[in-house]
Chain A
C-alpha cells in the first residue's frame, strides 16, 4: 500500500468512522514520504555513465593495446569486481555487494572468451567454459542471493547452446552441474522465481539435446517430466508448483499442437519413438511422480499427467484429433474442479482459459470442413458468448460464496493458505 493511496483514501475512512483523525495522522507518520529515493538513483546513474565511458574507450582501442596490458586489464576488472562486492557486503549493502559479485562472475566468463580471442586460440570441447559454470554454482552456495543462484542456470544454458551449436556435442557435465548443483541449492532454499528459471533452463538444455541427437521430439518429455516429478517431492508447495510450471506449459503446448496438426500422419510419424523404450521410461518417471505426490499428499494434482497420454501412437487422422481433444477437455475440467475445491481465483481463471481454448480448437477442428462458412462463424460466436456468460456467472457465484465464508468467519488468526507460510 503506497503513501499516496493512504493520503487520498484516509480522509474517507475518518468520515466513515473507521479510524479517528488522530489515528490517521499516526498512520501517515508511520509511512513517511519517500522522495529521497529518486535522489538516491543519481549516484547510480552517474557511475553507470562513467563505467560506460571507460568501457567504450577500452573497446575502441582494444586491438591496439599490447597483449599483456589487455590480459592485465581483464584480471584487474575481475579481481576488482569481487573485492568491491565483498567490501559492500561487509558494509551491509547486500544489493550492491551481490550485484558486484555477479558482475565478477560474468567478468570471469568474458575473460575466458576474450583471452582465447587474444591468442586466437580455439578449443574443441567445452572444458574452457565449463569452469565458468563450476564457479557460478560454487558462488551460489557461498552467498545468500537470488541473483547468484539465477546466474549459473542462465550461464549453463548459454554454455550448452554454444556447445551444441558451435561444437556439435552435448555437454553432459554442464547439464549435470546445473541440475544437481543449482538444483540442490534451490532444494535447500526454495524460491518461486528460481524454480521457474531453473526449470526453463533445464528444459532448454533438454530441447538442445533432442535437436542435436535427432531423436523424436517426444523424448523431450522424459527429462521435462523428471523436472516435474522433482517438484512433486519438494515439501514447499508454491516453489514446487513454480518448478512444475514450465514442464506443464510444454506438455500443454504439445497436446494442443497434436490436436491442431495431429491429423496428418506425417506429423504424428515424427513423434513416435520405439513404443517399449518410451513408455517404459515414461512409466518410471510417472511412478516417481506418483510416489512423490502421495508422500506430500498432493494426489489431487495427478490429472496433470493427462497431458502426457501418448495419444500419438493412435493412427493419425480424425481418431487422433478427437482423442487429443477429449484429453484437453478432461485436463481443463480437472483444473476447474481443483480450483473450485480450493477456491483459488487464479486457478479458476486458468481453468476457464484452458476450457475456452479446448472448445475453440474443437470447434475449429471439427466444424470447419462441413459447415457453411457464415453458419460456422455464427454458431462459433454464439457458442463463445454463451460460454463466457455461463462461466462468468459461475465464477461470480463461486467467488461470492468464498467471500461470504471469509466475512462470516471470525477474524482469521492463521489463514491456512497463507502464501508467506
Chain B
C-alpha cells in the first residue's frame, strides 16, 4: 500500500500539490473574473462604525437592502429563518439598488435588474431581515475608511458573476450631499 517512495507515488503527490496550487490560483482568478464579467451594482449602507478597526481588520457593513418589507416576499410558503433566498434588485445606471422582490427560487431579472443571493436572518411581523455574506469588509491599508474618525455612510460597489459568486469591488465614501 502507500508510503513507498516509488516514482509513481512521488508523481501522484506532485500532481496533488500542483492541483491544490492551481485551485487556490483559480479562487483568485474567480475574484478577477467576477469583476471583469460580472454585473455591477451599488449598495448603500447605514453609517459604518469604525471603532472596531482598532482591534480588527474588518468593519461590519449594514446595507439598506438588509431589510425588506414582507410585502416583497414572492413565494406561496411563508419565509423561515436561515432560509436561502434570491433577492431581485432594481438597479439603474449609477444609482443605488433597491429591493424589488425576495424569492425562494431564482427569478428572471429584467434588463435593469440584478439578482443577489442571501439568507433570511429574521422574520418580523412586517419585514424580513436579510444577510448577504458581504457584511464583513476587510479594509485595505490604503482605504479612506482608515483615515476617517467619524462614522461615514458608504457606497459599496458589488459585482455579481453570472455563475453565482459575488464580491465587494470597492467601498467609497458617500458624497456629503447624499449622506443622511
Q: Which residues of A contact B (CB under 8 A)?
A: 62-65, 71, 74-75, 78-79, 82, 86, 89-90, 104, 108, 111-112, 115-125, 128, 131, 135, 138-139, 141-145, 166-169, 188-189
Question: B1 and A188: CB pair below 8 A?
Answer: yes
Q: How large is the interface on B (under 10, 10 to 19, 20 to 34, 35 or more residues)?
A: 35 or more
Closest CB-CB distance, A61 to chain B, in whole Å?
8
Residues of chain A within 8 A (CB-CB) of B23 are 108, 112, 131
Nearest CB of A to B173, in Å: 17
Q: How far is the CA of A144 from the CA of B167 in the complex (A)?
A: 40
Interface residues of B in 1-57 (CB under 8 A from A): 1-3, 5, 9-10, 12-13, 16-17, 19-21, 23-25, 27-28, 30-32, 34, 57
A369: shortest Cβ distance to chain B, in Å? Answer: 39
A163 to chain B, nearest CB (A): 11
Interface centre among A122, A135, A141 (most CB of B within 10 A): A122
- In the bound assembly, the distance between CA atoms of A168 and B164 in angstroms comes to 16
Check if A119 sits within 8 Å of B31, measured CB to CB.
yes
The residue of chain A having its C-beta at the shortest distance from the C-beta of B13 within the complex is A142
Whether a CB of chain A sits under 8 angstroms from the CB of B134 is: yes
B73 within 8 A of A: no
6 of the cross-chain contacts (CB-CB < 8 Å) are A63-B139, A64-B141, A104-B17, A119-B32, A143-B2, A168-B119
**Which residue of B12, B57, B82, B133 contacts A122 across the interface (Cβ within 8 Å)?**
B133
The chain A residue with its CB closest to the CB of B21 is A75
**Cβ–Cβ contact A138 & B16, under 8 A:** yes
Contacting pair B166 A122 (CB below 8 A): yes
Q: Are B84 and A167 in contact (CB under 8 A)?
A: yes
Chain A: minimal CB distance from B12 (Å)? 6
Given A124-B165, A142-B12, A71 and B28 touching (CB < 8 A)? yes
* Chain B proximity of A196: nearest CB distance (Å): 22
Contacts of A111 in B (CB 8 A): 20, 24
Contact residue among A82, A119, A189 (Cβ-Cβ distance under 8 Å from B17): A82
- With the chains together, A144 CA to B164 CA distance in Å? 39
| Smallest Cβ-Cβ distance to B82: which chain A residue | A168
A69 to chain B, nearest CB (A): 12
Q: Would you call A118 and B57 a contact (CB within 8 A)? A: no
- Give Cα distance in the complex from A316 to B167, angstroms: 53
Interface of B is mostly: mixed
Say how far B84's CB is from chain A's closest CB, in angstroms. Answer: 5
In the docked arrangement, what's the CA distance between A124 and B167, Å? 12
Smallest CB separation, A173 vs chain B (Å): 16
In this complex, what residue of A is CB-closest to B141? Answer: A64
CB atoms of B24 and A115 under 8 A apart: yes
* Nearest chain B residue, comparing its CB with the CB of A115: B27
Contact status A168-B165, CB under 8 Å: no
B118 nearest CB across to chain A (Å): 9
A38 to B138, CA, bound (A): 43
Q: Which residues of B contact A75 (CB under 8 A)?
A: 21, 24-25
Interchain CB contact under 8 A, B84 and A144? no
A369 to B118 CA separation, bound complex (whole angstroms) = 52
Q: A63-B141, A86-B10, A121-B31 are in contact. Are A168 and B134 (CB under 8 A)?
A: no
Q: Is the CB of A124 within 8 A of B31?
A: no
- Note all chain B residues with C-beta closer than 8 A to A64: 141
Interchain CB contact under 8 A, B9 and A78: no
Task: Give the residue among B20, B31, B117, B139 with the most A Cβ atoms within 10 A.
Answer: B20
**B153 proximal to A (CB < 8 A):** no
A119 touches B167 (CB 8 A): yes
Cα distance A126–B26 in the bound complex, in angstroms: 15
Question: Would B57 and A90 count as touching, CB distance under 8 A?
Answer: no
> Is the beta-carbon distance between B83 and A168 smaller than 8 angstroms?
yes
A125: min CB distance to chain B, Å = 8
Q: Which residues from chain B contact A115 at a C-beta distance below 8 Å? A: 24, 27-28, 31
B168 at the interface (CB under 8 A from A): yes
B165 contact from A63, A121, A142, Cβ within 8 A: A121
A89 proximity list for chain B (CB < 8 A)? 3, 5
Q: Which 4 pairs across A and B sit closest by C-beta, in order of nearness? A: A119-B31, A64-B141, A120-B168, A144-B3
Residues facing A in B139-159 (CB within 8 A) are: 139-141
If A75-B24, A78-B24 touch, does A141 touch B2 (CB 8 Å cutoff)?
yes
Contact A122 to B17, CB < 8 A, known contacts A74-B24, A143-B3: no
B82: chain A residues at CB < 8 Å are 168
B90-107: contact bitstring with A at CB < 8 Å (1 yes, 0 no)?
000000000000000000
Assembled-state Cα–Cα distance A123/B31 (Å): 11
Give bound CA distance, A143 to B141, whole Å. Answer: 42
Q: Which residue of B lies closest to A85 (CB)?
A: B13
**Chain A's nearest CB lies how many Å from the CB of B99?**
18
A104, A116, A166: which has the most chain B beta carbons within 10 Å?
Answer: A116
In the complex the two chains form, is A63's CB within 8 Å of B140's CB?
Answer: yes
Q: Which residues of B contact A82 (CB under 8 A)?
A: 13, 17
Cβ–Cβ < 8 Å partners of B139 in chain A:
63
Q: Which residues of A contact B138 (CB under 8 A)?
A: 63, 117, 120
Do the beta carbons of B137 and A116 come within 8 Å of each other? no
* CB of A133 to closest CB in B, whole Å: 13
Q: Is the CB of B165 within 8 A of A123?
A: yes
